[in-house]
Amino acid sequence: MRILIISPCFNLSAKAQASMNILCIKEIAEQDLETIKKLSPDLIYLSVRFPGHLTRPGCLQGPQILKKLKERLPNVPVVGVSSVWNKLEKEFAKDGLADVISASKLQILFPHLSWTDHLS
């Protein structure tokens, strides 16, 4: 199973990524979407929030990423990841997320992930 984690808050060593068949990326620009499609992930974890100060100009934000992913990979489930559950996340969930989990649960699933909470 190929897993893609898209989050500005998670880190995973290259060695862990290779051994676990997981790709962890911090940000996505429009031109990256075709590469992601070619990677053909089986499951995508997507941070709901992408603070502007953590991404380069031209990078997409959570809701934009979800929309673009669903256009290009309509059959791949996208699970939202959030450290806070509020109205924004509830609205985002309506846009095609398969499910939403907390950041701490994602760390339990993938113990090699390190988490930096830039959102507090």
Q: Which of 44-48, 107-111, 114-118 has the lowest mean pLDDT?
A: 114-118
- As a whole number of angstroms, the distance between CA 49 and CA 8 comes to 9
Q: Which residues contact 62 (CB under 8 A, 6 or more apart)?
A: 46, 47, 48, 49, 50, 80, 92
Residue pLDDT, tens place only, 4-42 = 988 877 777 767 666 778 887 887 888 888 888 988 999
Model pTM score: 0.81
For the chain, the residue count is: 120
Name 64's Cβ contacts closer than 8 Å, sequence gap at least 6.
Answer: none
**What mean pLDDT, rounded, does the chain reach?**
78
One DSSP character per residue, 42-97 reads SEEEEES---GGGS-TTBPPHHHHHHHHHHH-TTS-EEEEESS-SHHHHHHHTTT-
Residue 120: which pLDDT band, with cuts at 50, 70 and 90?
A: very low
All domains in the chain, ordered by first residue: 3-115 (3.40.50.2300)
CA terminus-to-terminus distance, the chain: 32
CA 52 to chain centre: 15
